[in-house]
Amino acid sequence: MTIENVRLIPLGGLGEVGKNMMVVEYGDDIMIIDSGSMFPDDEMFGVDLVIPDTSYLHDKKHHIRGIFITHGHEDHIGSLPYTLPALDFPPIYATRMTQGLIQVKLKEHKLLEKAVINVVTSGDRITIGDCVVEIVRVNHSVPDATALAIHTPIGTIVHTGDYKFDHTPTDGRPADFGTLARLGNEGVLVMMGDSTRVETPGYTPSERVINDSFDKIFANAPGRIIIATFASLLSRVQQVIHTAERYERVVALVGRSMVNNVQMAIELGYLNFPKGMLIRAEDINKFPAERVVIICTGSQGEPTSALTRIANQDHRQVRIQPGDTVILSATPVPGNEKMVNRTINNLFRQGAEVLYQSIAMVHVSGHAAQEELKLMINLLRPTYVMPIHGEYRQLILHAKLAYSLGIPEDHIVIGEDGDIVTVSPASIKVTDHVACGNVFVDGLGVGDIGQIVLRDRQVLAQDGILMAVLTVDKETGQPLAGPDIVSRGFVYMRDSEELLESARERILESFVGLNGHASDWSFVKDKIRHTLSEFLYEKTHRRPMILPVVMEV
Ligand SMILES: [Zn+2]
Ligand SMILES: [Zn+2]
């Protein structure tokens, strides 16, 4: 008996940029597409990484047939070290380059042994239960990026992955127009399409245009050239290498993830380094400045990254010197603009010439602009459209764009993370919702930072903390010594003697006439907290976190 519908359940990447994860269910077969991570935003104090909540899958692990990874960017592979163990290591399917990037990541987490990675190439068809998954090449800012066509018994579901159409990509392999057109001719039931760049009219320029800008910069740079980009933006790294070769410069890599990824890409044959061109970071100073290129991480202003360290004069091997040209070859991910701007300011402050996207053509997007999005829809001519990969407004704009191409309104579904979208040949709609949110990674802890811890951190960051230590008589519950008050991040203690003295008095006053309750600890603590917070707000209009400590003797 044929099952009549397919369920599409986005667990990340819809209504946000990052941590992409899509679950596709046909009967008992579950396929997962991508397992990404996201940068924490300003409100998430101390959080290192944000990953999707996979709890929906936890009682269905035995139905998971595989995780298909469309390409090797962090927002598509970043949560693998956490989701793989949580889901009992389902097999991964990825192209060679993507597989290499996954290996680098799993190795760092010591999970490589346990993971099963199947290498696929565009054109491959993988049978998963009653479905066949076809791998389709697209262009993006990393080589070997793919879309997926999942042929189910009720129709074909296409997931575009991140894509653009580039007729002259760095690796010389344009998207597979032929296959996309064939899929359209055979009939596509649903297209899940990348919405990241829907706000931009026209076409995204080819990677090729970067070459011209790099040429100009290399021809005129009086000293060293320092280029920061994503460690996974390997096509950009290749462009730098080509240009460095033309201008007879040697190249050094700085930043752990950059070194690891480039090494892997060289081993797999995805990066071509002319012999003798790659030098060790320790040897940079052995070459004249005008012969050196440094490729580093930190294009997002991440606090511990190479470029940020360089900008803060805190890097072991690289110090900005007169004549340095720094290129930021990446766009700040939304939310990172402030950190990026701070880094740029610091670099200028130290005398470097700094080139970045808003003043020079040093980066092009890896995502399809409006005309390419239209091209994809017209090639596939899907019955239904479901915008993915974008904030809510971008999903809506992508829906409108599909509507403008003649896709009826009730054939377009706007889903958000956790929605269960049920598709049959007759309809597409959101039919249910599953628990789904952000899981925070902080240090070694995964998911142990919840809303309560985060709220505490926000309070601490806003108004600081104040501790009141009080010693009471075990028998009577009356204060014997103290209270001693210690605070951090609230007021400067030495200048606030008077305030703190009044606070102490206020606490002691609150014990007068309290004989009946005074031996009840939680009551006493509440009383102190309440008294203090009222008093401090009255005096300062601040609300520090208050921690009463009561000791009995
Ligand atoms: Zn991407
Ligand atoms: Zn992406």
Buried b / exposed e across 95-128, counting CB within 10 Å, b at 16+?
A: bebbbbbbbbbbeeeebeeebebeebebeeebeb
Q: What is the model's pLDDT at position 1?
A: 62
| Nearest ligand to the CA atom of 38 | 2
Q: If you measure from the C-alpha of residue 75 to the centroid of ligand 2, how many angstroms do you get, rounded to a whole number?
A: 5
Distance 419 CA to ligand 1 centre (A): 23
Beta bridge partners of residue 149, listed in sequence order = 134, 158
Q: Of 7-16, 280-289, 364-373, 481-490, which range is least confident?
A: 481-490
Region 31-42: mean pLDDT is 91
User: How open is the CA angle 468-470-476, to the nearest 5 degrees?
Assistant: 150
Which ligand ends up closest to the CA of 230?
A: 1
Helices vs strands, H then E, count in the chain: 14, 26
Element (H, E) at 211: helix 208-220
Cross-strand pairs, 325 = 225, 353
What is the C-alpha to C-alpha distance for residues 218 and 241, in angstroms, rounded to an integer? 12
Distance 368 CA to ligand 2 centre (A): 12
Q: Identify the weakest region by mean pLDDT among 7-16, 164-173, 191-200.
A: 164-173
Q: Which two tokens stand for residue 451?
A: 């809303």
Cα dihedral value 504, 507, 513, 515, nearest 10: -110
- Who's near 528: CB < 8 A, 6+ residues apart? 468, 470, 483, 507, 510, 546, 548, 550
Query: What pLDDT sits at residue 553?
Result: 77
| Ligand index nearest the alpha carbon of residue 194 | 2
The pLDDT value recorded for residue 31 is 98
Average pLDDT, the chain: 91
Comparing CA positions, the residue from 259, 339, 284, 327 lying closest to residue 41 is 339
Q: How far is the CA of 21 from the centre of ligand 1 (A)?
A: 13
Q: How far is the CA of 138 from the centre of ligand 1 (A)?
A: 11
CA of 251 to the centre of ligand 1 (A): 25
How far is ligand 1, taken at its centre, from the CA of residue 18, in Å?
9
Q: What's the chain's length in residues?
A: 553
Q: What CA–CA distances, in Å, run from 361 to 64, 209, 210? A: 44, 8, 7
pLDDT score, position 532? 87
Beta strand extents in 160-205 (DSSP E only)? 190-194
Q: How far apart are CA 379 and CA 474, in angstroms?
A: 81
| Ligand 1: centre distance to CA 487 (Å) | 45
Residue 83 is encoded by which pair of tokens? 């989701």
Instruction: Over range 37-66, report the average pLDDT.
Output: 89
How far does residue 103's CA lie from ligand 1's centre (Å)?
17
Task: Give distance in angstroms: CA of 162 to centre of ligand 1.
Answer: 5
Cα Rg, the chain, nearest whole Å: 28
| Helix axes of 392-404 and 370-380: crossing angle, nearest 10 degrees | 60
Catalytic residue ranges: 194, 367
pTM summary value: 0.84
Say if CB 387 and CB 398 are below 8 A apart: yes
DSSP 444: T
Distance, in Å, from the CA atom of 263 to the CA atom of 229, rounded to the nearest integer, reads: 16
Counting ligands in written order, the one closest to the CA of 233 is 1
Whole-angstrom Cα distance, residue 253 to residue 260? 10
Q: Which ligand is nearest to the CA of 366?
A: 1
> How far lies 417's CA from each of 23, 40, 115, 390, 420, in Å?
11, 17, 26, 11, 9
35 CA to centre of ligand 2 in angstroms: 11
Residues with CB under 5 A from ligand 1 (ion): 73, 162
Q: Do 102 and 119 meet the contact criterion of CB atoms below 8 Å apart? A: no
Ligand closest to 72 (CA) is 1
Write the pLDDT tens digit of every residue in 371-384: 999 999 999 999 99
Pick from 191-205, 233-247, 307-321, 431-445: least confident = 431-445
One-letter amino acid at 281 equals A
Kindly state the average pLDDT of the residues 257-283: 91
Residue-level pLDDT at 539: 84
Confidence tier at 46 by pLDDT (50, 70, 90)? confident
Summarize pLDDT for 468-488 with one digit per residue, the tens.
888 877 777 677 777 888 888
Compute the average pLDDT of residues 39-59. 87
- Per the model's pLDDT, the better-predicted residue between 442 and 250 turns out to be 250
**Largest Cα–Cα distance of the chain, in whole Å?**
87
The residues placing their C-beta within 5 Å of ligand 2, an ion, are 75, 162
Residues 6+ apart with CB under 8 A from 230: 73, 74, 141, 236, 297, 299, 300, 330
- The confidence band for 517, taking pLDDT boundaries of 50, 70 and 90, is low
Q: What is the CA(63)–ligand 1 centre distance, in A? A: 27
Report the separation in Å between the CA atom of 529 and the middle of ligand 2, taken as the mean of its atom positions: 47
Please tell me the distance between residue 162's alpha carbon and the centre of ligand 2 in angstroms: 5
Q: Which DSSP string do the residues of 47-102 spell out, in sequence order?
A: --EEEE--GGGTT-GGGEEEEE----SHHHHTTHHHHHHHTT-PPEEE-HHHHHHH
Please tell me the distance from the alpha carbon of residue 108 to that of residue 113, in angstroms, as a whole number: 12
Nearest partner of 547 among 480, 464, 471, 478, judged by Cα: 464
Of the ligands numbered here, which is closest to the C-alpha atom of 36?
2
Query: Which pLDDT belongs to residue 464?
Result: 86
Tell me the per-residue pLDDT of 395-448, one tens digit each, with 9 for 90 and over: 999 999 999 999 999 999 999 999 999 999 999 999 999 988 888 887 777 877
User: Could you tell me how far CA 138 lies from the centroid of its own chain?
Assistant: 21
In angstroms, what CA-CA distances link 220 with 195, 217, 541? 38, 5, 56
- Residue 441, beta-bridge partner list: 49, 446
Nearest ligand to residue 18 Cα: 2
C-alpha distances out from residue 211 to 240, 362, 540, Å: 8, 9, 58
> 63 exposed, middle or buried (CB, 10 Å; 0-12, 13-18, 19+)?
middle
Residue 326 DSSP SS3: strand
Least-confidence region, from 40-49, 236-245, 262-271 = 40-49
528 and 507 Cβ atoms separated by less than 8 Å: yes
